[in-house]
Amino acid sequence: MPFLRLVFLSLLLLTACGSEQNDPYPLGERGGNILYAAFTERPKHLDPVQSYSEDEIAFTAQIYEPPLQYHYLRRPYALVPATGETVPVARYYDAQGRELPADAPAASIASSVYEIRLRPGIRYQPHPAFAVDDAGHPWYDRLDREQLRGIDKVADFAKTGSRELLADDYIYQIKRLAHPRLHSPIFSLMAERIVGLRELGATLRTAAKTLPADGWLDLDRFQLPGVTRVDSHTYRIVLHGKYPQFAYWLAMPFFAPVPREVDRFYSQPGMAEKNLTLDWYPVGTGPFMLTENNPNSRMVLERNPNFHGESYPCDGEAGDRAAGLLDDCGKALPFIDKAVYSREKESIPYWNKFLQGYYDASGISSDSYDQAVRLGVGGDVQLTDEMREKGIRLLTSVRPSIFYQGFNMLDPVVGGLSESATKLRQAVSIAIDQEEFISIFMNGRGIAANSPLPPGIFGFVDGEAGINPVVYDWVDGQARRKPIEVAKKLLAEAGWPNGRNARSGEPLVLYLDTTGGGMGDKSRLDWLTRQFAKLDIQLVVRSTDYNRFQNKVRKGAVQLFYMGWNADYPDPENFLFLLAGSEGKVATGGENGANYVNPEFDRLFEQMKNMESSGPRGAERLAIIRQAVAVLQRDAPWIYGFHPKNYTLGHVWLHNRKPTDMGNNTLKYQRIDVAARQESRQAWNRPVLWPLAAMAAGLLLLVLPAAVGYRRRERGTAR
């Protein structure tokens, strides 16, 4: 029987190879200085103009180098130069072009200027776009479809070259933000800030119309007045007004360099059909370059041979030294030769492969949580003994994000700033026990939020001063959720005693919109219904697909909804703007899904928006933020849910890991002890062979009577 043969064959193969039968990687990679990681969502865009999601930035941040980066170890997050010589300091000018002092009031500032000086001698990764002939003319600049025959990936081009990083490359990329055929998510935001960018967008749009569909739009033919070249290694960006958060943007790949010849190279006819685009094969100066791009199963980053060199930082936060994070001080980066990212869509295989040692690090999904982590005495987290035996280490950090349930402030029942509606919202805010939610559904991986601001963001206050007085009391040195009776009382005052309308006796029915699907959804919704039932409020959950949900929020056709926000940069403005009246979703299509408008809050927000957190006016800014947060807590336009905590596990052979949520270019700091990894993998992956033998025996038992019967029958018919 063929099946039997298959079993025997595999048995043979198994015994031949011994241990690590379940190694998902090619044999040739064993023992290499390679980091193994996984990605769940396939990155859609690797072009720095378009990539914005975390899955994409995980790759682009290793390849592209914007002028600035976040310091790997220091907290609070600090910007340090990457390709720039220093972190630029803005110079301010008034409407007449006179320079103003740094502490000038924001209203008087007409423009701010950032001047960035690049370090000399930085070179790009080898790439065919840089290949030149003896005369210095680009080798591959007149390709057509015929010449591209037989070429399927960038590695198929015979010649490559490199060149020095210049200021022009940065300027070219800023112009690309306005490119009519690319869709930069930050174009409209930056068009308001960078002088002339909006106009450039309009010009380019008209210019693109006259071009053939696959024609190249040479951006150097167009001027962007807000971005100028000072010399070959220096450029200047002019912004409207004051925008102190701009420096953070300069640490994102949106402001990475893109050389004109690369853009030219990829826009030749026939390239796009073969996926030879910047979206697929990024080109940068960073420590790594993308050598294999198969977003369905495997992405490979390899060390850039032309990397300009950088050394491991020698200072950090208190405790970094004890944690061994400073051991590699001054050593040359990067440490690893190669990083292999495999696609894991499902959490189960991901987790199991991590335990088998085939991934060097892993997050913890809530399903594998019990196995990995336990809460110690006093609420601190520890690894389980099983994990510790394996030498696995745990890293935790609170992410600069917030998950919340928003009330639609335009809704006749829960919306509006009237006292009754406010009390209704406050009552609900008390009733929904976020602590329980976190403990059941997040396994404690989060902290309940008191305001939109997560820890680590300027304006966050810990302890008694920071609690939300509407929801919590301060008892025995810790925040305690107010008892449900308080909520019931508030609800009664709001005109809904025991969940019934005081006048008509109708029950209070609230509608919650969520995006459906996914694991454990049903149980989460059941839990939520129970929370509302505590106030005798009937909750109806309407789960819809993502688009429909967005649409409803946009039209204001929701009552309660689940949402979340990840910070773009570590500044309170990036959170509080989610509630600014000017960002109203229904009114302006902005990010304020709750459509909350409170003039008092808006005034405070406008005030704090353009202030620096550090320096002399920091205290003043903090005071304004505190006031604004107090307004939000009172009005309760959101149920402040929680700030999720990141728990990641790393194997003992992986060194120099520190949780970071802002800087993404962390791959270069990682170091691997290859020998230790090899040893552990061998020990953990001894195959269990008896079931195969048992299966073979079982099959034999089945076949035997059949064979006996067969012979008897044959003889029977023969006779």
Residue 531 binds to another protein (criterion: CB under 8 A) = no
Whole-number Å distance between alpha carbons of 165 and 171: 12
Q: Segment contacting another protein (CB under 8 A): 61-69, 456-464, 504-512, 626-634? A: 504-512
Residue 711 binds to another protein (criterion: CB under 8 A) = no
Whole-number Å distance between alpha carbons of 354 and 396: 18
Torsion of CA 447, 528, 519, 295, to 10 degrees: -60
- Rule CB under 8 A: choose which of 177, 195, 250, 541 binds another protein: 541
Interface mask (CB under 8 A) for another protein, residues 688-707, using x and -? xx-xx------------xx-
Whole-number Å distance between alpha carbons of 282 and 124: 11
Whole-number Å distance between alpha carbons of 451 and 629: 6
Q: How far is the CB of 471 from another protein (least distance, A)?
A: 23
- Rule CB under 8 A: choose which of 236, 542, 634, 658 binds another protein: 542
- Rule CB under 8 A: choose which of 138, 185, 241, 659 binds another protein: 185
Looking only at residues 573 through 602 of this chain, which bind another protein when binding is defined by CB under 8 A? 589, 591
Q: CB-side exposure of 111: number of CA atoms within 13 Å?
A: 17
Q: How far is the CB of 639 from another protein (least distance, A)?
A: 20
Q: CB-side exposure of 508: number of CA atoms within 13 Å?
A: 28
Nearer to another protein, 353 or 425 (CB): 353
Looking only at residues 52 through 71 of this chain, which bind another protein when binding is defined by CB under 8 A? 52-53
Looking only at residues 245 through 304 of this chain, which bind another protein when binding is defined by CB under 8 A? 272-275, 277, 279-280, 294, 296-297
Task: Indicate left, alpha or beta for 709 from its phi (over 0: left) and psi (-120 to 50: alpha).
Answer: alpha
Q: How far is the CB of 426 from another protein (least distance, A)?
A: 23
If we measure between CA atoms, which residue out of 322, 372, 333 comes closest to residue 651? 372
Q: How far is the CB of 72 from another protein (least distance, A)?
A: 25
Q: How far is the CB of 266 from another protein (least distance, A)?
A: 12
Nearer to another protein, 166 or 392 (CB): 392
Nearer to another protein, 93 or 527 (CB): 527
229 sits in which H/E element: strand 227-231
- Rule CB under 8 A: choose which of 538, 607, 666, 680 binds another protein: 538
Using only the alpha carbons of the chain, give its radius of gyration.
30
Looking only at residues 415 through 474 of this chain, which bind another protein when binding is defined by CB under 8 A? 440
- Rule CB under 8 A: choose which of 138, 416, 455, 516 binds another protein: 516
- Are the C-beta atoms of residues 440 and 524 closer than 8 Å to each other? no
- Rule CB under 8 A: choose which of 505, 599, 616, 719 binds another protein: 505
Looking only at residues 340 through 399 of this chain, which bind another protein when binding is defined by CB under 8 A? 342-349, 351-353, 356, 358, 367-368, 370-371, 374-375, 377-379, 386
> Residue with structure tokens 């976020």?
434
Give me the amino acid identity at 49.
V
Residue 203 binds to another protein (criterion: CB under 8 A) = no
Whole-number Å distance between alpha carbons of 452 and 573: 10
Q: How far is the CB of 283 from another protein (least distance, A)?
A: 17
**Tokens, residue 237:** 């960006």
Residue 30 binds to another protein (criterion: CB under 8 A) = no
Count Cβ neighbours within 10 Å for each residue of 273-289 and write b for 16 or more, e otherwise: eeebbbbbbbbbbbbbb
